[in-house]
Structure 1
C-alpha cells in the first residue's frame, strides 16, 4: 500500500505565492506604491508644464529633468522594502513564516524576488507614463525628446532599475536589522547622506569611490547622456548589483545563525 503524496508540499512556487499574497494584503503596500507613482508623475508633469528654455535648466538631461521625482518616490519604495522584511519582525508574523518554511533562506529570496518584480514593473510603467506626459508640454522646447532618441529608453529603464536596486538594498537592511526605524535610519544615513558627506572631501580617490555608491550609481543609470564625473551605465549597474547582493548576503548569513 502506497502512502498518498502530501497535498501541500512546500515548493518555491508556493513560497513565492505566499510572499505575493502577504505583500498585496497589507494596506501600506498600496499606500507606498501609489504615493511613489503619484510623486514621480506629479513632479514630472510639473517640470514639463513649468519649463522654459531660458530658465537655466537647458543643460539638464531630458530624462533626468522629467524623472526628477524618482528621488522622492524612490524613498517611499525603499520604505516599502524595509516593511517587507523588518515589518514582519515588528508584528511577529515572521515566526509563523519561518515555521512554515523551516529552511528560512527561501523566505528571504522570495521576498526579494516578489519585491523586485513589483517595484521594477511599477517604476518602469510610471516612468514611461511620466516621460510621455511631460513631453506633451516639452514638445516645443529644447528639451523635446522621444523614446526612440539615442539613450532615452535605456535611461528610463535604468531609472526604474536604479530605484528598484536601491529599494532592494533597503529590504536587505530591514532583514538584517529587524527593526523598521533602525533600517530607515540606516538607509537614510548610510545610503543617502554619507556619500554626500564623502563627496565634500578634497581627495581624488574618495571622489572616484563615491561614483560607485548606490545613489550616485543610480543617478548615472537614469541619464540619457553621460554625466560629468559619473560612472558609466554598465559600471553603475554592476556597482548597484553588488551593493544589493551585499545587503542581502548579511541577513542570509544571520538567518542561519540567529534564533527567530
Structure 2
C-alpha cells in the first residue's frame, strides 16, 4: 500500500513532464504588408483560437525599402484537455516583439514581391497542474528571421448578402532561427535550446470597406531540429484585419 502511495506522485510527475513538452514558442503570424510605393502604411491585428494576438505595422521608407514591426501577446488559463477534469489546468504566457527591414517591388502584372530580414525578442512561460502536482517552465527567446512574400495574380469576387466582395490571395515563407535561454524548470536552471523553423503560409484577403480587408492565414510550422521544449508545436492559423493606406491600386 505504501509503495502505491509513493508510486502515484512519481507517475503524476512523469505525466506532467510529458505533457509539458509543448513548445514555449508561439510564432507571431508572418507579416505580408505588400507595400507598393514610398509613404505607404500597412497595419493589422490578428488572433487565433489559442488567444495568440498580434499587432503589426509596416511603412515604405522609399520606393523599394520598407520596415516592419510586430508585437504578440498570449495569456491563457484553461483545462489541459477539452474532456478532462477542470482541476487539471494549463496556464500559458507569451510575449514577443520583432522588427525587420526589407525590399519590395511591383511586378509588371501588378503582383508584389517582398523580402525581409529581422530580429525578435520574447518571453515564454508554461505551468501545468494535475492532481495538485504542478510544473513551471519559463525562459527568454531570441530570434533571427528571413521572409519572402508574394501576392498571386489570381483574384475572385464572392457574391453574398447582395454584394460583391473582392478576394485576393498570397503566400509567404519564413525561416527563423530561435534560441531559448535563461531557461528554468520550477526555478532550476536548464540547458538552453535552439531550433530552426520553416513556416510556409498562404493568406486570403476579402475587401470589406475601402482599404479595410479581412484576412485569414493558414499554414504549417516545421522544426528542423529535434528539441523537447522549443519545437513546432503551435499553430500559425490566424484571423484578422489588414489596412493599407497610400499604396498603388490593383491586385496584391
Q: TM-score, normalised by structure 2?
A: 0.27
Higher percent of residues as strand: 2
Higher RCO, 1 vs 2 (CA within 8 Å, ≥6 residues apart): 1
